[in-house]
């Protein structure tokens, strides 16, 4: 069965530090992969997506993610975190007829 795991429930980083949020998926075919961010009081916003081609994808707000088929991973990165990046981050994979979300990683940013 398709699944998505995000090993880190909560991460705290200092402002200006680099960030990596981990995501692993289980899917038989080439996946469509997504990262979404959910800020308090706001709807989920798409940060970036991978369908095919270049395995390093660039997104909005300075985020990027790298698809590694051999590791079934799609980790999200940002070189320098801003206080406004504090939010909940969800990795997701498109299955045959739906999108499956990971459990989420809560990001806190220390000023």
Partner 1 sequence: GAVVSQHPSWVICKSGTSVKIECRSLDFQATTMFWYRQFPKQSLMLMATSNEGSKATYEQGVEKDKFLINHASLTLSTLTVTSAHPEDSSFYICSGLAEFWEQYFGPGTRLTVT
Minimum Å distance from CB 44 to partner 1? 4
Contact string (CB under 8 A) for partner 1, positions 82-101, x = contact: --------x---x--xxxxx
Beta-bridged to residue 37, according to DSSP, are 45, 89
Is residue 16 a contact residue for partner 1 (CB under 8 A)?
A: no
| Stretch near partner 1 under the rule CB under 8 A, chosen from 17-25, 46-54, 66-74, 79-87 | 46-54
Does position 64 bind partner 1 by CB under 8 A?
no
Residue with the two structure tokens 């960030």: 19
Residue ranges that bind partner 1, judged by CB under 8 A = 32, 34, 36, 41-46, 49, 51, 90, 94, 97-104, 106
């Amino acid at each position: 069965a398709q699944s998505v795991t995000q090993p880190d429930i909560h991460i705290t980083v200092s402002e200006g530090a680099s960030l990596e949020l981990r995501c692993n998926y289980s899917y038989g075919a080439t996946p469509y992969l997504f990262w979404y961010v959910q800020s308090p009081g706001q709807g989920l916003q798409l940060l970036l997506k991978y369908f095919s081609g270049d395995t390093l994808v660039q997104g909005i707000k300075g985020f990027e993610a790298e698809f590694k088929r051999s590791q079934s991973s799609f980790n999200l990165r940002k070189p320098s975190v801003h206080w406004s990046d504090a939010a909940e981050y969800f990795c997701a994979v498109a299955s045959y007829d739906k999108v499956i979300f990971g459990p989420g990683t809560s990001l806190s940013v220390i000023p």
